[in-house]
């Protein structure tokens, strides 16, 4: 099926939703992180809303921790086809995507975390991501956010972004101007030779970078890390008009 809103994007996306959400305890002792309410709605619904606005009609969601709560909630949706990939063993981000790869089409694969909120100032950053994808040049294209205006973010950044769009990693003990938002396009060929086991997508970014095929574009808008209490409070203020 073709994405009828933004033809440069796939019609299917993967939403990562399997983690334990330990930084949000005690909230996540009985509630999986994607179901934690933000502005009176489960966190995962905010991600799905932005995906459907960009023309996504089918989502693949991996689950592991308290999976029934997420699966029962998603079963009620009528605007999306939802495919569940339940992981008996937590596979981390890379293993989770590889485990679901057969459901994601020939590529590029659109993957997003479920523990953040993003708003666009202008055009859709998902649309811009699709328009920037150049398969002859890229293996991975990451949406990055300036650290200086990321809400709820407590880190030192992840990447430097060159004028041509190439990403280079932050060196230990240094700070960098951009963080990774958790939104990305990946060439499925990056997974060749890998087996379904726990591993991070960072392994793929390093593989792409070694071949000068790791790229990024800057998000034009607000981004909030909702994976910890301070970020959850910042997202609540943003979505209720207090920012």
pLDDT beyond 90 at 2 = no
Q: What digits encode the pLDDT tens for the residues 181-212?
A: 999 999 999 999 999 999 999 999 999 999 99
Model pTM? 0.95
Q: What digits encode the pLDDT tens for the residues 100-145?
A: 999 998 889 999 999 999 999 888 999 999 999 999 999 999 999 9
For range 147-174, the mean pLDDT: 92
- Fold of the domain built from segment(s) 12-239: Spore Coat Polysaccharide Biosynthesis Protein SpsA; Chain A (3.90.550)
Q: What digits encode the pLDDT tens for the residues 201-243?
A: 999 999 999 999 999 999 999 999 998 999 999 999 998 877 5
Tokens, residue 40: 């009176």
pLDDT at position 243? 59
pLDDT at position 241? 78
Classify burial at 148, counting beta carbons within 10 Å of its beta carbon; exposed 0-12, middle 13-18, buried 19 or more: exposed
Report whether 75 contacts 52 (CB < 8 A). Answer: no
Task: Choose among 182, 168, 177: nearest CA to 224.
Answer: 182
CB atoms within 10 A of CB 40: 8
* List of E strands, 64-195: 81-86, 109-113, 116-120, 140-146, 150-151, 159-161, 167-169, 178-186
Q: What does each C-alpha distance from 232 to 82, 145, 173, 214 come to in angstroms?
A: 26, 18, 27, 30
Residues shown for the chain: 243
The domain segmentation of the chain, as residue ranges, is: 12-239
Residue with tokens 């808008």: 221
pLDDT beyond 70 at 49 = yes
């Amino acid at each position: 099926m073709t994405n009828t809103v933004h033809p440069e994007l796939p019609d299917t996306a993967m939403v990562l939703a399997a983690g334990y959400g330990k930084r949000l305890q005690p909230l996540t002792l009985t509630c999986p992180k994607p179901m934690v309410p933000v502005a009176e709605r489960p966190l995962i619904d905010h991600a799905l809303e932005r995906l459907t606005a960009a023309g996504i009609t089918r989502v693949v969601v991996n689950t592991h921790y308290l999976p029934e709560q997420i699966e029962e909630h998603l079963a009620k949706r009528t605007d999306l086809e939802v495919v569940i990939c339940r992981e008996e063993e937590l596979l981390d981000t890379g293993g989770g995507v590889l485990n679901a790869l057969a459901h994601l089409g020939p590529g590029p694969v659109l993957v997003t975390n479920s523990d953040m909120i993003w708003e666009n100032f202008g055009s859709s950053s998902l649309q811009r991501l699709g328009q920037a994808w150049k398969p002859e040049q890229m293996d991975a294209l990451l949406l990055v956010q300036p650290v200086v205006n990321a809400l709820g973010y407590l880190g030192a950044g992840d990447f430097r972004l060159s004028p041509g769009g190439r990403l280079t990693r932050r060196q230990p003990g240094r700070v960098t101007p951009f963080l990774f938002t958790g939104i990305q396009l990946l060439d499925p060929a990056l997974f060749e030779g890998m087996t379904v086991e726990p591993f991070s997508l960072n392994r793929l970014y390093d593989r792409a970078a070694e071949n000068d095929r790791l790229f990024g574009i800057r998000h034009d808008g607000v981004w909030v890390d909702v994976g910890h209490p301070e970020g959850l409070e910042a997202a609540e203020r943003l979505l209720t008009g207090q920012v």
